[in-house]
Amino acid sequence: MTESLRVVIADDQALVRTGFAMILAAEGIDVVAEVADGAKAVDAVRQTRPDVVLMDIRMPEVDGLEATRRILAAGPDAPRVIILTTFDLDRYVYAALSAGASGFLLKDVSPEHLVAAVRLVRSGDALLAPSITRRLVERFARRDEQAATLHRDLSTLTPRELDVLRLLARGLSNAELAGRLHVSDTTVKTHVARILSKLGLRDRAQAIVVAYETGLVTPGEPGT
């Protein structure tokens, strides 16, 4: 049985849209709309109700960052957003993660990685390559309460949950977390779920942003 997975592609380059659509369609993923700017992306999401949006940052009229904010303002029923970027250190990517995007991909991503990424974020996880995540936060994270769009009170977390959040912020996968904490993958998933629930976050991407913006983890400290 073919999975039901609906995707909107927003990019001002027709070649990118067409290429990604062909790759996804070949794997049985339904591309329900292809648009060239952020405003059209917001409209397409309202009309087609996709599971995932592939969103370019730099587009005319309404850029991908503002479009992401508008789409995710719909709340829990909003689709997952994957940011598309040409550069792995695009400062707007960090802002997009703060706005609630579930991760990002470079536009030269392999077909296999593209398909895996769409399925991953649809399942509720976040798409964050550890090496790129570390470089992003080291370069762009700011401990500025006024600028922190996801400022949260961490006092509701247990000591173990704080440990898990620190390791999440360093880009560790669930398997790596389990090994570091000497617990099972299931236990790690439970801790992560509780952290997200207590802090009112969508996924690991937002949890990482919160860890840096609240000062739980400092860019450049040992282990990050």
The pTM of the full predicted model, rounded to 2 decimals, is: 0.71
For 164-182, what is each residue's pLDDT tens digit?
Answer: 999 888 777 788 889 999 9
Q: What are phi and psi of 105, to 5 degrees?
A: -130, 145
* pLDDT reported for residue 4: 83
Residue 114 parent element (H or E): helix 111-122
pLDDT for residue 145 is more than 50: no
Helix, strand, coil % in the chain, rounded to nearest 5: 50, 10, 40
pLDDT for residue 22 is more than 90: yes
Per-position DSSP letters for 143-202, written without gaps between them: --TTT-TT---GGGS-HHHHHHHHHHHTT--HHHHHHHHT--HHHHHHHHHHHHHHHT-S
Lowest mean pLDDT among 80-84, 159-163, 205-209: 205-209
* Interval 189-201 mean pLDDT: 89
* pLDDT reported for residue 93: 67
- The CATH number of 146-213 is 1.10.10.10
* pLDDT reported for residue 95: 76
Listed by start position, the domains of the chain span 6-127, 146-213
Lowest mean pLDDT among 27-36, 56-65, 120-129: 120-129
* pLDDT reported for residue 77: 83
For 76-131, what is each residue's pLDDT tens digit?
Answer: 789 999 988 876 655 666 777 777 888 888 888 889 989 988 988 887 766 665 55
Highest mean pLDDT among 22-26, 89-93, 188-192, 198-202: 22-26
Q: Look at 98 and 150; give whichever has higher pLDDT.
A: 98
What percent of the chain is predicted at pLDDT more than 70?
80
What percent of the chain is predicted at pLDDT more than 90?
39
Which of 205, 181, 180, 185 lies closest to 195, judged by CA? 205
For 116-131, what is each residue's pLDDT tens digit?
Answer: 889 888 877 666 655 5
pLDDT for residue 147 is more than 50: no
At the fourth CATH level, the homologous superfamily of domain 6-127 is Response regulator (3.40.50.2300)
